[in-house]
Structure 1
């Protein structure tokens, strides 16, 4: 999620040149069976691409701007990418500060042609945890923001840690942590819920909403509404397709809830702090090796603390992901004498997953089975 002067200049230049590119592509849009041009949809994240394709069906061409196998935290669009985006009828992004380059891209778009959809706008978002730097990665609890009201969230055991956080446009992050223990030394972090979709520049929000199936369902409904508004002729098909997707997500939600209800443990360790929404939804607690950015690494002393935590809490798996290095997770697992496994944050597909026909539902079901083993 890097912002550079070069990237900004690239975006501005590309959008300035995009007029001719748009004109050239307008007459070559694929046709539907009814002979009308398909609408063009670009997304910034694989789960949004998945939802858009499920809902749009045959009536739109949907593409994710981030290629398979690329870590989206590090993605910066090329000039060619920006020219392609300028031809979009719908531009769908996650919001919550996840795509740092989007703000500049949106400024240069023709609003009369391209409808821009921030899929987390209006949703209750969690404040991002600082990983090992601040709270040893404990998540799964939430506090209401906006009024000083605090509530005890999932995984709380009669004690709280209150945390205030802010980040000003990637420059500084100040966090104050205070822990109050009632018969236990374990610390838990409170996230803060926000309903402004990430518009407050002083709050660093957790973007991984799609790992809670009910949150992806809410994002999908925004996508459906945008498709209907853009292409009213196929509104009935979009609504039908959305309802089918919503039913699949409801079943996935039920499957996770059933699995967790039969599990003896409620705590799991992951490579980076991506699973707060999933943990909150199902009453679990994630222990994260690094914070929101998977490139962060713990210090030697923090590594030692994490190894001790695994042993003391009888954690049987250290879980890493597909698009980031598993090195640190493997070291902790080896030192603690436990197994490793994969828990996929679904920020993007690997090339192998794409070729194998994997999708959001199948990978989330794999995640469910991995958690089933880890929570035994």
Structure 2
């Protein structure tokens, strides 16, 4: 015999409320993003943003990146499907003007928690040449794209290569994650503090390691190291400006040969993701060595390290060797 039992209204209401509370506790702040595992859905535009999200968010976040390993961030194209998925994010971390396709997709995403890393620290303009006393033919730099000009802003976006500025961005990212996911704000704050301390130690390593060198000038295919050079008292000489794939003019190559002789340059650097044909050509013409200086726009199996810290320390070691650190 079937027996139907009536549940008092008050008890039923309490059960519903309890169930709703449990559901909210399990889903957390990422419920709006539709995550079944309860983690905050974070989309990073490229590796430096991905690294911060993973180190600060740890087990509380599910991080995806728009720029896959080996893809040149500047040339990234985004499909309509990717743009649609971007809209499911709880938080988006990107660096405005670095990747025009990402800027457009972010604007169309409708996501509430959007963090532009460029607003978390002061961006500056850097030329491909760190020397003011070199004679250049009029219009050379403009023709070769040697001034960083992203979206007309004229600011150099490569702030992550300066550990001190990267630490400032880390603090902003930590605060943003805490705002999006208040339940784990204390963890984000703790993880941010740990990361900022590590970045401070890295900054000290660079200062000490590059304090006394035989030369202060380094030549690189990609003029991405303006912040690093400024922070540690070095002079960057970029071969191809912002685009590592572009071909420098004969006048620029001749100018760099003069720089190498004058400033006792021993090495021409190329970056891991790009080819080293231009660097080797200049090295051959000047009798210089070649080595890697990685702009850390992505990590691949060819990178000299598995993460940001390892690659940055490899960069430091290579700079010390090339500049004759004492």
How high is the TM-score relative to the length of structure 2? 0.81
For 1:118, the equivalent position in structure 2 comes to 116
For 1:145, the equivalent position in structure 2 comes to none
Measure the CA separation in 1 of the matches of 2:313 and 2:81.
35
How many pairs are equivalent? Answer: 287
**Residue 79 of structure 1: CA displacement?**
2.5
Measure the CA separation in 2 of the matches of 1:262 and 1:240.
35
CA contact (8 A) 1:69 1:351 kept: no
For 2:101, the equivalent position in structure 1 comes to 101
SS in structure 2 at match of 1:263: coil
SS in structure 2 at match of 1:302: helix
CA deviation map 1:116-144 (0-9, x unaligned): 10011153212242xxxxxxx312xxxxx
SS in structure 1 at match of 2:118: coil
**Residue 221 of structure 1: CA displacement?**
1.1
**Residue 308 of structure 1: CA displacement?**
3.3
Q: Unaligned stretches of 5+ in structure 2?
A: 1-31
**Residue 104 of structure 1: CA displacement?**
2.0
**Residue 190 of structure 1: CA displacement?**
10
Whether 1:241 aligns to 2:191 is: yes
**Residue 77 of structure 1: CA displacement?**
1.1
**Residue 374 of structure 1: CA displacement?**
0.9
CA contact (8 A) 2:147 2:154 kept: no
**Residue 375 of structure 1: CA displacement?**
0.8
**Residue 311 of structure 1: CA displacement?**
2.6
SS in structure 1 at match of 2:52: helix
For 1:268, the equivalent position in structure 2 comes to 218
Whether 1:256 aligns to 2:206 is: yes
Q: CA 1:84/1:50 → structure 2, altered by over 3 Å: closer, same or farther?
A: same
Q: CA 1:128/1:81 → structure 2, altered by over 3 Å: closer, same or farther?
A: farther
CA contact (8 A) 2:40 2:61 kept: yes
**Residue 352 of structure 1: CA displacement?**
4.3
Whether 1:54 aligns to 2:55 is: yes
Q: CA 1:331/1:118 → structure 2, altered by over 3 Å: closer, same or farther?
A: same
Measure the CA separation in 2 of the matches of 1:263 and 1:160.
21
The Cα RMSD (Å) is 2.6
SS in structure 1 at match of 2:160: helix
Q: Unaligned stretches of 5+ in structure 1?
A: 1-24, 32-36, 130-136, 140-154, 166-172, 176-188, 193-197
How high is the TM-score relative to the length of structure 1? 0.71
SS in structure 1 at match of 2:261: helix
Whether 1:312 aligns to 2:262 is: yes
For 1:138, the equivalent position in structure 2 comes to 129
Q: CA 1:240/1:26 → structure 2, altered by over 3 Å: closer, same or farther?
A: closer
**Residue 205 of structure 1: CA displacement?**
1.3
**Residue 301 of structure 1: CA displacement?**
3.3
CA deviation map 1:317-366 (0-9, x unaligned): 0000011111000000011111100000001112444xx97000000000
Whether 1:280 aligns to 2:278 is: no
CA contact (8 A) 1:308 1:336 kept: no
Which runs of structure 1 show a deviation greater than 6 angstroms over 4 or more consecutive aligned residues? 189-192
SS in structure 2 at match of 1:345: coil
Measure the CA separation in 2 of the matches of 1:224 and 1:26.
19
Whether 1:296 aligns to 2:294 is: no
CA deviation map 1:75-97 (0-9, x unaligned): 111223212211100011012x1
- Mapping 1:108-187, distance limit 5 Å: 108-111=108-111, 114-121=112-119, 123-129=121-127, 137-139=128-130
SS in structure 2 at match of 1:294: coil
CA deviation map 1:193-222 (0-9, x unaligned): xxxxx8xx6432111000000111111111
SS in structure 2 at match of 1:258: helix
